Amino acid sequence: MHLDQLGWNPVFAHHFEPYHHSGHVVGRVALDHRHVYTLYSEYGELPAEITGKLHHQATGSQDFPVVGDWVVMQLRDEATRASIHAILPRMSQLSRKAAGDKTDEQVLAANIDTVFLICGLDGDFNSRRIERALVLIRASGANPVIILNKADLCDTPHPYILDVEAIAQGTPVIALSALYDPCLSALDPYLQVGKTIVLLGSSGVGKSTLANQLMGQDVQAVQAVRHRDDRGQHTTTHRELFCLPSGALLIDTPGIRELQLWASEAHVDETFAELEAWTGQCRFRDCRHLHEPGCAVQAAISSGELDEQRFLNYQKLQREQAYLKQRQDHLAQAQSKAKRKQLSKAMRRHPKR
C-alpha cells in the first residue's frame, strides 16, 4: 500500500520528521479490538500493540490509538508485526462523551474529512437527533453530509428533505436508497482518492449496507430492522477502515445508541446560528425566553417563524454543554492538583544537594 492512498499528506509528514531517522515507520490504524490493532502500511497489513511507555503516558482513552490514526511504529519479526510508539497529531477527530458518570472523551474516529450522518426514512427519522449529531460533527473538524437512507421505503421523501434542509445550516442533504447503485452517484464528490469518510448513525439505518455497496462487495454483515418498532439491531460491532475502489477510505462504525456532547458552546451556537437573529432582538439582554415582556423568541414562536421544538432542543444542548464544561473544569483542577502533589513528593524524595 502506498501512503498517499491511505490519506498521507505533508502535514503528517512534517509531524513524522522527528522520527524519520530513528528506524521508525508509519502506519494507519485500520482496526482496533481492545488495544490490539491492525495497521495499514507500506509493508502491508500488520498486527500491532502499543508499547508500555505509550500505555503508561496515556491519561485517558483519548490518548490511545483509534481507527484512522497515523501512528509511529517499529517493525518486528521480519516486518510481520509492529509496536506502536506514538500517535501523530490528529487533524480531526469525531468524539462524544463516554457513557457513564465519568467526564471522559471517547474518540470514535480520527483524521476524517467527511462524516456521512445517516438517518432512515423508515421510522428512524428524528430532527432533534440530527441537530445533536451536527454539533459533534462541527466540533470534529470534519465536514458533515446528511444522508436520508431508505428513500425507497418512503412514499414522499421530499417533505423530510425540506425539514432537514431547514435545520442543516447549508449542510448537504441527500436522499437515496443504499440498495440501489444509481442512487449512490450523488456521493461521488466526497469519495476522492485519499479522503476519509466515516459513517455515523443509529442501528438499522443502513450503514453496513451502504458500506457494502461502496466497496462493491459484502464486507459487513447486515440485519433487518425489527418490524414491530422499526428499531435497528447491531450489525457492526467494531470500527474498521476500508479502502474503497474509488480510492477513498471509509470508516464504518457500530450503531450509536446515544450521542452525549463533547463540544464547545461555539459549536452549539454554530449549529443553531439562525437563532441568534431572534435572541438578539429581545428587550432585555438577560432574557431567558420564557415569559419576559418583549421576548423576540417567544414572539417568533407564536407567529410560526421559529420552530419551538428546535429552540427547546437548542436550550437543552446549551445546558448540557454548560454542565460538561463545568465537569471538565473541575477535572482539570483536580488533575493539576494531583500533578503538583506528585511533583512535591518527588522533590522531597530527591532534595537538591
Question: Is a pLDDT exceeding 60 seen at residue 235?
Answer: no
For the domain bounded by 93-252, which CATH number is listed? 3.40.50.300
User: What mean pLDDT value characterizes the chain?
Assistant: 89
Between CA 55 and CA 35 the distance in angstroms is: 10
Between CA 67 and CA 6 the distance in angstroms is: 12
Q: Do domains 3-87 and 93-252 have the same CATH topology?
A: no
What's the average model confidence in pLDDT over 7-36?
A: 94
**DSSP secondary-structure letter at 107?**
E
Between CA 36 and CA 316 the distance in angstroms is: 38
Burial class (CB in 10 A: 0-12, 13-18, 19+), 44: exposed
H/E element, 147: strand 143-149
Sorted by sequence, the CB contacts under 8 Å of residue 276 that are 6+ apart come out as 269
What's the average model confidence in pLDDT over 248-268?
A: 91
173: helix, strand or coil = strand
53 is in an annotated binding site: no
205 is in an annotated binding site: yes
Q: Name the percent of the chain lying above pLDDT 70.
A: 92
225 is in an annotated binding site: no
Sorted by sequence, the CB contacts under 8 Å of residue 269 that are 6+ apart come out as 276
61 is in an annotated binding site: no
152 is in an annotated binding site: yes
120 is in an annotated binding site: no
H/E element, 13: helix 10-16
Between CA 233 and CA 120 the distance in angstroms is: 13
H/E element, 25: strand 25-33
Question: Is a pLDDT exceeding 90 seen at residue 349?
Answer: no
208 is in an annotated binding site: yes
Whole-number pLDDT of residue 96 = 94
- Domain at 265-332, CATH homologous superfamily: Probable gtpase engc; domain 3 (1.10.40.50)
Whole-number pLDDT of residue 250 = 98
Q: Name the percent of the chain lying above pLDDT 90.
A: 70
Whole-number pLDDT of residue 229 = 46
282 is in an annotated binding site: yes
- Number of continuous H segments (helices) and E segments (strands) in the chain: 9, 13
Between CA 333 and CA 196 the distance in angstroms is: 36
Whole-number pLDDT of residue 222 = 55
| DSSP strand pairing (143-149 vs 105-110) | unpaired
| Sequence ranges of the domains in the chain | 3-87, 93-252, 265-332
What's the average model confidence in pLDDT over 194-216?
A: 92
Top-confidence residue, 313 or 345: 313
Whole-number pLDDT of residue 342 = 72
Whole-number pLDDT of residue 140 = 97
Question: Is a pLDDT exceeding 70 seen at residue 261?
Answer: yes
Single-letter amino acid code for the residue at 164: V
CB atoms within 10 A of CB 224: 9
CB 73 within 8 A of CB 26: yes
41 is in an annotated binding site: no
Whole-number pLDDT of residue 226 = 43
206 is in an annotated binding site: yes
Cell of 155: 412514499
Cell of 108: 470514535
Top-confidence residue, 209 or 236: 209
**pTM listed for this prediction:** 0.88
Whole-number pLDDT of residue 231 = 47
Q: Hey, what CATH class is 3-87 in?
A: mainly beta
